[in-house]
Structure 1
């Protein structure tokens, strides 16, 4: 039988849990069969998968992630200031596209990556500064009740401003766990830094990658799990760290 005392104890337990730090670990570049993909799927680490659309295994991996209870995002390829368009894969968002074509490509990406809850940018230092194109992307995101994560490829990104204007939930990446040359030890150290951020600020968002060094990324994250447990830091889907309208207006949201 539930008593008032039990309710109080449960409420206190939930409050303690809520006060523990939380981190979201987004792993970019899913969609192919590169290093680290198998390891992440075979593990129990509750990562958020950012899947590049239109690759050989994009749809299959989105379905598998969903079946395993993992959150899925679209890792949308956007044109950078430097680099080759070929690095972006099929149907990227580039500055020469008109607004209608931008929206069409975002819609196609959503169709290709089922169960996605949000979008983050693959590269894109040029596009995230382009208000016209980012507005088009965010308008489609809003229609699908998506969130957006700014991967932090440009300090002049218009994503925060536009997302606020359009009322699209968003956040900006706090830390990169790896790069093309990262060792297992480097990723482990980055995980400890991420944990410290969560302790200091309550939450933090990190991005890692599968690929050439993907096994190092997996191993470094896996090595750090005991440290996170010791510090009572939970790994959660990135959507759990985003502010919603209910949180902004808890007393009046139901009236709107």
Structure 2
């Protein structure tokens, strides 16, 4: 009997001990869980739509881009975001893009890359968190190619061939020229084919935009295509430019120069509307200077878009000896300034002189370049002088 009582007592003690031990572990787990709640940080996913919008808006100008996941931990929160490295094809793009990135929310920091082949811009965005906490988070790196100046410092020239309309015998002759040219095409339904051939050649394609002249309507037939007329409103101008751009297909157009246009380019009100549309479509302007008192270049330059002006018409007179003399004059101008922009036309005598000068080695001591590349070199040189001063 005593043994039975002892067994009962031992069993009771065992159960009390075991059950008591389980309750103690639960409290510890609860305590650990409470600690986890206290230590847990809120996760904040940052909005980087700005970088996504850049990729969307400048798709044709981007060579490639890389997206990475970034993470930073602070006392009360963890930041997660997408980081973008975007590599552009054309250095000219930066003049439009950086202008659009001017904002109180953004910081744009220029950094010259160590390789010397590209120009790097770091984009930081200001983020505000609870209790006035503000941080500048880097959301993107933008890379623009750098055009290297020739070691022998040859004068740089952009020859622009105007009045190209379609693929014909003379354009074939022109495309055989061994040096770089810039081809300005009057936009029509025939534009796409010749624009693609010029682009494959590695030359720059410009849009030769028809504009009203002071002789209109006597010379109306020479406009060839829909033209900008004095007094047009911004919507009319945009519709014409948009239609013309579509005629170039997938060929990227960065520069426009006026075809005729002596009346439009001296009219400040019309040119102001034209330049607004250029800015909207990321178009640079080469003022053909078809009239001495043109305001086109000055207004474009003042608006902040890339702009240049024609220094000389090579074949203003359709005479072979005079055309040769103008080529020599153009080169002398370029040698004095270090660079030059000159317009010639798709004409039999002009192409004949061009080929003859090539055989004579006339272009050997010159650096014939795309107009976008020329503008970039001029801009870099001007920036350097400004920094020295």
TM-score range, shorter chain: 0.7 to 0.9
Q: Does 1:189 align with 2:322?
A: no
After superposition, residues 135-150 of structure 1 pair within 5 angstroms as 135-150=272-287
* Structure 1 stretch displaced more, 33-42 or 56-65: 33-42
Sort the Cα spacing of 1:190 and 1:158 in 2 relative to 1 into closer, same or farther, 3 A.
same
Q: Contact (CA 8 Å) 1:62, 1:115: kept in 2 or not?
A: no
Q: Contact (CA 8 Å) 1:65, 1:72: kept in 2 or not?
A: yes
Q: Contact (CA 8 Å) 1:75, 1:119: kept in 2 or not?
A: yes
Q: Contact (CA 8 Å) 2:237, 2:277: kept in 1 or not?
A: no
The offset of 1:53, in angstroms, is 0.6
Counterpart of 2:209?
A: 76
Sort the Cα spacing of 1:191 and 1:251 in 2 relative to 1 into closer, same or farther, 3 A.
closer
Counterpart of 2:351?
A: 218
How many residues are aligned here? Answer: 234
Q: Does 1:31 align with 2:168?
A: no
Distance across 2 between alignment mates of 1:237 and 1:88? 25
- Secondary structure of 2:235 counterpart: helix
Sort the Cα spacing of 1:86 and 1:16 in 2 relative to 1 into closer, same or farther, 3 A.
same
Q: Does 1:67 align with 2:204?
A: no
The structure showing larger relative contact order (alpha-carbon pairs under 8 Å, at least 6 residues apart) is 1
Counterpart of 1:93?
A: 228
Q: Contact (CA 8 Å) 1:188, 1:223: kept in 2 or not?
A: no
- Which has the greater radius of gyration? 2
Counterpart of 1:236?
A: 369
Distance across 2 between alignment mates of 1:120 and 1:14? 25
Q: Does 1:170 align with 2:307?
A: yes
The offset of 1:33, in angstroms, is 4.7
- Secondary structure of 1:127 counterpart: coil
Q: 2:175 aligns with which of 16, 31, 41?
A: 41
Distance across 1 between alignment mates of 2:367 and 2:240? 35
Sort the Cα spacing of 1:161 and 1:251 in 2 relative to 1 into closer, same or farther, 3 A.
closer
Q: Contact (CA 8 Å) 1:209, 1:217: kept in 2 or not?
A: yes
Q: Does 1:20 align with 2:154?
A: yes
Sort the Cα spacing of 1:183 and 1:41 in 2 relative to 1 into closer, same or farther, 3 A.
same
Counterpart of 1:128?
A: 265
Structure with more of its chain in helix, by fraction: 1
Counterpart of 2:69?
A: none
The offset of 1:246, in angstroms, is 5.9
RMSD of aligned Cα (Å): 2.6
Q: 1:117 aligns with which of 243, 254, 264?
A: 254
Counterpart of 1:209?
A: 345
The offset of 1:123, in angstroms, is 0.6
Gaps (5+ residues) in structure 1? Answer: 1-6, 8-12
- Secondary structure of 2:214 counterpart: coil
- Normalising by structure 1, we get a TM-score of 0.82
Distance across 2 between alignment mates of 1:15 and 1:221? 23
- Secondary structure of 1:36 counterpart: helix
Distance across 2 between alignment mates of 1:98 and 1:14? 42
Sort the Cα spacing of 1:77 and 1:167 in 2 relative to 1 into closer, same or farther, 3 A.
same
Distance across 2 between alignment mates of 1:96 and 1:85? 17
- Normalising by structure 2, we get a TM-score of 0.55
- Secondary structure of 2:151 counterpart: helix
